[in-house]
Amino acid sequence: MPAFPPTFQEQLRDLFRLRRDVRRFRPDPVPEDVFMDMLDAAHHAPSVGLSQPWRFVRVDDPARRAAVIAEFQRANDEASTIYEEERAQLYRSLKLAGLREAPIHLLVCVETCPDTGHGLGRQTQPVTLRDSAVCAIQNLWLTGRARGIGVGWVSILEPDRLRQTLDLPPTWDWVGYLCVGWPQEEPDVPVLETAGWDQRQPLESHLFQR
């Protein structure tokens, strides 16, 4: 398993550091071949027992998109009520999703009963099926960033309120609803950091030994 060139290793490190959760998009369309490359990278993610349980659902229908936007508004309003005073004000000042502007809406689901993989590796930890779909999202996100395309993961939604709207099969679980498009900004640090919401912690505080 030969290593990749040192230049690549350095650029990969930059890629991880420069990947952002994008919430401000330009409305220009994403070229179809670039988006397919992002999906192809996602499809080469690791999956438990080679189960490939990810399901990519492109949401194009305007009425369905509007329902997702409405649900985000509802969930975001509700979420804002847990904060008080200054932090509540700060929360409301944050732009947390680019659902209106993003040219592509992509819902990533996980098939919880896939035929593929024959159950290998997931008897003890079925959640590893979901983990596989999350790795797919991360591959898509990194590929997008390398091409200059932004991705925003909108987690402020109650999946159960959208299942019917999006006509999801009963064995599919919701993983991530993604906005994809050309970003308006090029921030070096996360907007939540710039806005003073929270800071990056030192790595050392996350390391333990047993």
Residues 50-109 that bind its own copies (CB under 8 A): 50-52, 54-61, 64, 75, 78-79, 82-83, 87, 91, 94, 96, 107
Residue 164, Ramachandran bin (φ over 0: left; ψ between -120 and 50: alpha; else beta): alpha
Least distance to its own copies, CB of residue 56, Å: 5
Least distance to its own copies, CB of residue 121, Å: 5
Q: How far apart are CA 48 and CA 36, in angstroms?
A: 23
Least distance to its own copies, CB of residue 145, Å: 7
> Where in 29-149 does DSSP place strands (E)?
54-58, 104-111
* Residue list 147-166, contact with its own copies (CB under 8 A): 147-148, 150, 153, 155-159, 166
Instruction: Single out the residue of 125, 98, 128 nearest to residue 25, CA to CA.
Output: 98
* Position 31 contacts its own copies (CB under 8 A): no
* Position 194 contacts its own copies (CB under 8 A): no
Instruction: Tell me the C-alpha to C-alpha distance, in Å, between residue 39 and each of 104, 109, 187, 206.
Output: 12, 13, 24, 32
* Residue list 116-145, contact with its own copies (CB under 8 A): 116-125, 127-128, 130-131, 134-135, 137-139, 141-143, 145
**Nearer to its own copies (CB atom), residue 100 or residue 125:** 125
* Position 170 contacts its own copies (CB under 8 A): no
Instruction: Single out the residue of 184, 138, 161, 175 nearest to residue 22, CA to CA.
Output: 184
Q: What tokens does 118 get?
A: 């024959």
* Position 32 contacts its own copies (CB under 8 A): no
Identified binder of its own copies from the candidate list 30, 41, 99, 102, rule CB under 8 A: 41
Least distance to its own copies, CB of residue 43, Å: 5
Cα 113 off chain centre by? 22
* Position 210 contacts its own copies (CB under 8 A): yes
Instruction: Single out the residue of 160, 175, 178, 181 nearest to residue 65, CA to CA.
Output: 178
Please check whether residue 137 is in contact with residue 176, taking contact to mean a CB–CB distance below 8 angstroms.
yes
| Count of residues near its own copies by CB under 8 A | 106
**Nearer to its own copies (CB atom), residue 43 or residue 103:** 43
Least distance to its own copies, CB of residue 210, Å: 5
Cα 146 off chain centre by? 16
Residue 105 forms beta bridges with which residues? 179
